Amino acid sequence: MNHGVHRRGTAARLVKFHAPEIVFGIGSLVEAAHATLRFGGFRPFLVTDPGLIDAGWVSELEDHLTEQGLTATVWSGLTPNPKDFEIAAGFEVYQEGECDVIIALGGGSVIDAAKGVAVLAANGGNILDYEGVDQATKPIPPLVMVPTTSGTGADVSQFCIVTDTTRGTKITIIGRALVPDVTVIDPRLLTTMPEWLNAATGLDALTHGIEAFVSLAHNPLTDHHALRAVGLVTENLVNTIQDPMEMEARSVMAQASLEAGLAFTNAILGAAHAMSHQVGGMLDLPHGVINGILLPHVIRFNSTTDAAPFVAIAAALSLPEQHGTPEEAALAVADRVERLAREVGVPKGLGELGVREEDLSRLASFALLDACMSTNPREATQEQMVALFRGAL
């Protein structure tokens, strides 16, 4: 198959591909301690959440750190979709502990909070000051990531998403400095995810793969990872929900999340994420669930401008429509995503999550300003964006 080779004039473009050092495998958690030591850490700052402390992963990592002569300051004072004031509080704890290397053991929220603390450790000020691209200019402390969900890709990305509690929206901070130094992916840590989080993060990875593949900033290096992720999530997500302790499917989902992360941090995303950030910021809901609702609508919207990339996605999903017209392939991909979202228990529409008609204009305005819209393959007006939200209600 020759997908991704002759797409939209990539041949003459300069391509950059950012990625951390990746350590992958069952039992690899100990490598986070080795990495911390290698970066000259004396007093690591370990960001996590109460559920992961209860699950026992934090004490296991602390034991590994102790063996290396390191004592961690553990901070777990954050909630899902980390808030601006939580990051400020975490930074205070970081300063009081005179910490150095930052370790994040958790899902996307924990990793985003750790990145937020890192930005403040180097640059000071308020985390909201750094919204946009490359606003945080000073070198940040070393970042060692240990993801506990299979989907956000935050452990390999140059993104940091923070909730602006005053405006009730999410801001996106992007910068090469935010690409972590090391990610340690131990599939054992995925087994303690609650089922809803497993479903949500899996759909997030699927959205990353599809949006990165059709993104205006895609390139041949990202295309491969994006398509792999799309196929792996669709084949394995349901298995991990039905049999949570089956390590082979867990390992494959960990790989899917990683590949989707490598794709989107380099190709950026699109309208589904631009829209999802607004709904998540307003209602403080799981990001992947919102993506699962929005993605089919965005696929149908984008395919009217250029359906060609969806042929390769249909092929990655083994859909017969890959042999039809590009438009047929795109609609089949949208239907398959919708079916997967239903299978893993995602609601049919945003209305079930609490979005109302009177919210749509505000959500649309914020979505159009989101950094992810700049690489969406189809531009949208305020009216089109409102209509897209309305279709997803």
DSSP string, 339-367: HHHHHTT--SSGGGGT--GGGHHHHHHHH
**What is the fold, at CATH topology level, of the domain defined by 193-391?**
Dehydroquinate synthase-like, alpha domain (1.20.1090)
In this predicted model, what pLDDT tens digit does every residue of 330-374 receive, in sequence order?
A: 999 999 999 999 999 999 999 999 999 999 999 999 999 999 999
Strands (E) across 8-147 are located at 21-24, 45-47, 73-75, 102-106, 132-133, 143-147
Supply the pTM of this predicted model: 0.95
Measuring CA to CA, which residue among 154, 54, 166 is closest to residue 107?
A: 154
Please state, for a pLDDT cut of 90, what percent of the chain lies above it: 96
Measuring CA to CA, which residue among 186, 159, 163 is closest to residue 173?
A: 159
CATH class of 29-185: alpha beta
Every domain of the chain with CATH number 1.20.1090.10 lies at 193-391
Q: Which residues share a beta bridge with 113?
A: none
Distance CA 108, CA 357 (A): 29
Taking the alpha carbons of 325, 210, 267, 215 in that order, is the dihedral positive or negative? positive
List phi, psi (to 5°) of 173: -110, 125
Q: Which residues share a beta bridge with 46?
A: 74, 103
pLDDT (tens, 9 = 90+) of the chain, 393 residues, equals: 444 444 555 566 888 899 999 999 999 999 999 999 999 999 999 999 999 999 999 999 999 999 999 999 999 999 999 999 999 999 999 999 999 999 999 999 999 999 999 999 999 999 999 999 999 999 999 999 999 999 999 999 999 999 999 999 999 999 999 999 999 999 999 999 999 999 999 999 999 999 999 999 999 999 999 999 999 999 999 999 999 999 999 999 999 999 999 999 999 999 999 999 999 999 999 999 999 999 999 999 999 999 999 999 999 999 999 999 999 999 999 999 999 999 999 999 999 999 999 999 999 999 999 999 999 999 999 999 999 999 999
